[in-house]
C-alpha cells in the first residue's frame, strides 16, 4: 500500500469519527457568568415536563429570524415553571427542536448549576441565564 493511500484512509477515518462525536446541538451561547444559580432544586421529572411544555411553544427557529416572545411552561400542581425567550441565534440550538431546547435547559441550568451547588440524583437545579450570543433567556424557577 502506498504511503499516500494510508494517509488518505487515516484522514477519512478521522473525519468520520469527528462527525460521529459531534453533538446535535450547541449551547455555546450561554456562559456561567451570564446566569444565576439559586442553590435550590426541584423534582427532575416535573422540571423537564415544565421545560418541555415551554419548548413546545416555540416549534421552530432559524438563525437570523426575529426574537420570540417570552413563553412559559408549567405542570399543574408543581410550583416551579420554565421560562424561555429565543433570540436571533436560536439560543445556540441549531438545528432547533423541542428536544434540543430541553437539552439546552439541562446543559445550561441543571448541569451548570450542579457544579456550583451539587445535589442528589432526581433533582433539577433552579436558575436563570441570559445568552451571550443573542437575547435568548432560559429560566427554571419558583413561578418562572
Q: Mind listing the pLDDT tens digit for each residue in 22-31?
A: 334 445 799 8
> Which structural domains are found in the chain, ordered by start?
24-142 (3.30.430)
In this prediction, residue 14 has a pLDDT band, given cuts at 50, 70 and 90, of very low
Q: What single DSSP character describes residue 78?
A: -
For residue 20, cis peptide bond before it (omega within 30 degrees of 0): no
* Chain-centroid distance, C-alpha 4: 42
**Whether residue 45 has pLDDT greater than 60:** yes
What does the pLDDT look like over 56-110, one tens digit per residue?
A: 999 999 999 999 999 999 999 999 999 999 999 999 999 999 999 999 999 999 9
For residues 10 and 101, the model is more confident at: 101
Q: What is the reported pLDDT for 16?
A: 41
Q: What is the reported pLDDT for 17?
A: 36
Buried b (16+ CB within 10 A) or exposed e, 78-109: eebbbbbbbbbbbbbbbebbbebbbbbbbbbb
CA angle 14, 106, 50 (to 5 degrees): 140
In the block, cell 432560559 appears at 138
Q: What is the reported pLDDT for 90?
A: 96
Q: What is the reported pLDDT for 1?
A: 52
Q: What is the reported pLDDT for 144?
A: 58
Amino acid at each position: 500500500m502506498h504511503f499516500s493511500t494510508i494517509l488518505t484512509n487515516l484522514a477519512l477515518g478521522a473525519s468520520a469519527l469527528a462527525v460521529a462525536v459531534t453533538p446535535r446541538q450547541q449551547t455555546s451561547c450561554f456562559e456561567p457568568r451570564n446566569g444565576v444559580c439559586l442553590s435550590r432544586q426541584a423534582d427532575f421529572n416535573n422540571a423537564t415536563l415544565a421545560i418541555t411544555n415551554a419548548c413546545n411553544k416555540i416549534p421552530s427557529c432559524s438563525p437570523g429570524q426575529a426574537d420570540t416572545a417570552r413563553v412559559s411552561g408549567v405542570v399543574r400542581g408543581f410550583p416551579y415553571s420554565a421560562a424561555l425567550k429565543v433570540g436571533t441565534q436560536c439560543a445556540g440550538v441549531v438545528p432547533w427542536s423541542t428536544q434540543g431546547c430541553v437539552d439546552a435547559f439541562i446543559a445550561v441550568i441543571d448541569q451548570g448549576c450542579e457544579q456550583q451547588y451539587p445535589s442528589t440524583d432526581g433533582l433539577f437545579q433552579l436558575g436563570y441565564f441570559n445568552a451571550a450570543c443573542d437575547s435568548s433567556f432560559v429560566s427554571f424557577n419558583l413561578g418562572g
